[in-house]
Chains A and B, each alone.
Chain A
């Protein structure tokens, strides 16, 4: 039973991380129907920025909590800046191009960012300092659920609530939903579509950066390649839940997290990624619109 609980909780943690990244995918897809391949790289850059900030501050002798806060802020700010810039360079000029063009441009961007970090930093795995202290009240259950994991789950829940509020009730959120439904119409009623798209990219990137910092802190190491696999899995989660749907992304991420966790726990740990991809293929075959997505019929 305890083994089951352990797997359940580790699945929850994984799922929460996937959810943070998947939200960015789903929001961007909802608005401009583009799979932002470079999203995983944004997450990686967020984690790298946090690592660099944390290392510099550690050497300067700051207290751990302050380091954690500053590193997280740095990661979020820089990732958002990257997300914003990437959209301006690689996607905005292609807004009216055939669908394949922005997709290829996104793949190119992803390769570019990976190699940019590889060349400017290193290809080795770098150790990530433990920034979240172990709380004492977590002591009795720390062997199955650590403080870092608690932080991940809590952050995801809070972010989800904030995001839902933002999308549902603020003006910007309404503008986003309007843009997602019909870009031309949104433009006609005075919504600055370019700005909405930029904001979407910024929010998505900020969430990815949060995920990056938390997971790097949890796993304790990172390199330039972590974004690729995390990106694909998060995308799987987004598709699983129905791409474009925000609750769907979270649901999909949790299901994916649990699937991976239980499959590696009970079947075999060698095939961890295979389970994720197999789930993706199966979902797309049997329910292409995802669990919470609506299937669209194309009208001529």
Chain B
């Protein structure tokens, strides 16, 4: 009952709050005011129920938060640590991925390719944000560097996809190091803003430097990837890029997984948790951070090249802050630092809006809201990263503590 009254108060407050924006709509040309009172009613009712849920979950989180979180982690952990289940899972996913293009049309294949690209981008950003704990809001800049490297080299010199792929990745890495070197001394939130600024600089330069990048009109007729100069029809090319992305994704998952458990991966985790303790243990701060930054940028660069080859047309409008925000929400929703989390996150973020076309205009609204809700209720993401535990075995085979 107390809940109800409180929620009612909240609903009234929100009805007041949203009144000018949601209810009144002014047509300034014809000087007519449109009053949309029905919206106020929906708002009130909606907020009432949302508030009830919010309170309920907040209370539940406080009550059993620790315990249930531990249980949930255990479920992921069992799957991840049981090689039998894991192997079956991986094989079945791969089989589905391989059959997929032959049972659906090219529209579906395209969507799936995009989803796979976001998985790889998400995993790349995951190195920076999830593992090393550096909030990078200008990730899309490196993506743009990759895409423009391919587009320009292809346009001016006719270089093919396969030649530019490593060049694009290298260019992005260089940009990552160039940016990373001076700014990585900064604390987390400053870093976020600088990377955001850097992303905007890259986009603005691409937009305004007409002689170099052809400005807002972009570059068209970029070559699709080929194998040995073999000419492909549009459908074949779509399928080819799809399989290319499958290979990329598998490689990235494998790579990031190995990376996580390597020396540098553990150094990232340690650095994320406690910088000072980490430095005291002899892990070079700048070098380790720079490595994360550069590696993240490399993946973005690779995907940039693929993106340019896939769409055959790029312009600066594809590389706005919104794109960075989408990739970031893939990582955040899925679970920072968790590979299956990022994969699920990307699939949800990209496939759901595609199949729920009717609601697609609400996409960013929902993403923004979801980021807030996620941080409040489940900061570890949908599938949380589990901690690898090392146990000590003494010489006579008994477990030590």
CA distance A235 to B192 in the complex (A): 12
Is there an interface contact between A274 and B372, defined as CB atoms closer than 8 Å? no
Tell me if A280 counts as interface (CB < 8 A to partner B): yes
User: Which listed residue, B198, B201, B362, touches A119 by the CB 8 Å rule?
Assistant: B362
Q: Which residues of B are found within 8 Å of A201, using beta-carbon distances?
A: none
Tell me if A285 counts as interface (CB < 8 A to partner B): yes
Tell me if A273 counts as interface (CB < 8 A to partner B): yes
Q: Which residues of B are found within 8 Å of A45, using beta-carbon distances?
A: 21
Is there an interface contact between B188 and A99, defined as CB atoms closer than 8 Å? yes
Is there an interface contact between B197 and A280, defined as CB atoms closer than 8 Å? yes
With an 8 Å Cβ cutoff, the count of chain A residues facing the other chain is 66
Binds B, one of A14-22, A108-116, A138-146: A108-116
User: Which listed residue, B187, B336, B364, touches A115 by the CB 8 Å rule?
Assistant: B364
Q: Which residues of B are found within 8 Å of A112, using beta-carbon distances?
A: 365, 368-369, 371-372
Tell me if B182 counts as interface (CB < 8 A to partner A): yes
Instruction: Specify the chain A residue showing the minimal Cβ separation from B187.
Output: A288
CA distance A121 to B19 in the complex (A): 12
Within the complex, what minimum Cβ distance (angstroms) separates A226 from chain B?
14
Tell me if B133 counts as interface (CB < 8 A to partner A): yes
Is there an interface contact between A284 and B21, defined as CB atoms closer than 8 Å? no
Instruction: Specify the chain B residue showing the minimal Cβ separation from A243.
Output: B190
Write out, one digit per residue, whether chain B residues 175-207 have a CB within 8 A of any chain A CB (1) or not (0). 000000011011111101110111011001100
Q: Which residues of A are found within 8 Å of B144, using beta-carbon distances?
A: none
User: Which listed residue, B21, B33, B135, B375, touches A117 by the CB 8 Å rule?
Assistant: B21
A105-B376, A111-B368 known; A59+B22 contact, CB < 8 A:
no
User: Which listed residue, A33, A82, A239, A277, touches B201 by the CB 8 Å rule?
Assistant: A277
Write out, one digit per residue, whether chain B residues 342-386 have a CB within 8 A of any chain A CB (1) or not (0). 000000000000000000011011011111101110010000000
Q: Which residues of B are found within 8 Å of A102, using beta-carbon distances?
A: 375
Instruction: Specify the chain B residue showing the minimal Cβ separation from A109.
Output: B372
Binds B, one of A90-98, A147-155, A182-190, A256-264: A90-98
Within the complex, what minimum Cβ distance (angstroms) separates B398 from chain A?
36
CA distance A109 to B371 in the complex (A): 8
A55-B33, A56-B33 known; A239+B276 contact, CB < 8 A:
no
CA distance A37 to B197 in the complex (A): 14
Tell me if B321 counts as interface (CB < 8 A to partner A): yes
Q: Which residues of A are found within 8 Å of B32, using beta-carbon distances?
A: 59
CA distance A90 to B375 in the complex (A): 8
A111-B368, A121-B21 known; A284+B208 contact, CB < 8 A:
no
Is there an interface contact between A119 and B26, defined as CB atoms closer than 8 Å? no
Is there an interface contact between A110 and B368, defined as CB atoms closer than 8 Å? yes
Write out, one digit per residue, whether chain A residues 226-246 have a CB within 8 A of any chain B CB (1) or not (0). 001000100110010000000
CA distance A81 to B301 in the complex (A): 43
Write out, one digit per residue, whether chain B residues 314-327 have a CB within 8 A of any chain A CB (1) or not (0). 00000001000100
Is there an interface contact between B193 and A280, defined as CB atoms closer than 8 Å? yes
Is there an interface contact between A107 and B21, defined as CB atoms closer than 8 Å? no
User: Which listed residue, A78, A90, A98, A288, touches B376 by the CB 8 Å rule?
Assistant: A90
Instruction: Specify the chain A residue showing the minimal Cβ separation from B373.
Output: A108
Q: With a 10 A CB-CB cut-off, give which of A33, A56, A127, A274 has the most chain B CB atoms.
A: A274
For window 248-276 of chain A, which residues contact chain B by CB distance below 8 Å? 270-271, 273-274
User: Which listed residue, B190, B208, B375, touches A101 by the CB 8 Å rule?
Assistant: B375
A-B CB proximity, top 8 nearest: A108-B371, A111-B368, A112-B368, A277-B197, A115-B365, A55-B26, A105-B375, A270-B208
- Which A residues contact B (CB, under 8 angstroms)? 33-35, 45, 48-49, 51-53, 55-56, 58-59, 74, 78, 81-82, 85, 89-90, 93-94, 97-105, 107-117, 119-122, 126-127, 228, 232, 235-236, 239, 270-271, 273-274, 277-278, 280-281, 284-285, 288, 298, 300
| 10 A–B contacts from the bound complex (CB under 8 Å) | A33-B189, A35-B192, A48-B20, A89-B376, A94-B375, A100-B133, A100-B336, A274-B204, A277-B197, A277-B200
- Which B residues contact A (CB, under 8 angstroms)? 13-14, 16-18, 20-22, 24-26, 28, 31-33, 39, 58, 129, 133, 135, 137, 182-183, 185-190, 192-194, 196-198, 200-201, 204-205, 208, 276, 321, 325, 328-329, 332, 336, 361-362, 364-365, 367-372, 374-376, 379
Q: List 9 other contacts, CB 8 Å, given A52-B21, A74-B20, A280-B193.
A: A52-B26, A59-B33, A97-B379, A103-B189, A109-B371, A112-B365, A115-B364, A116-B365, A122-B25
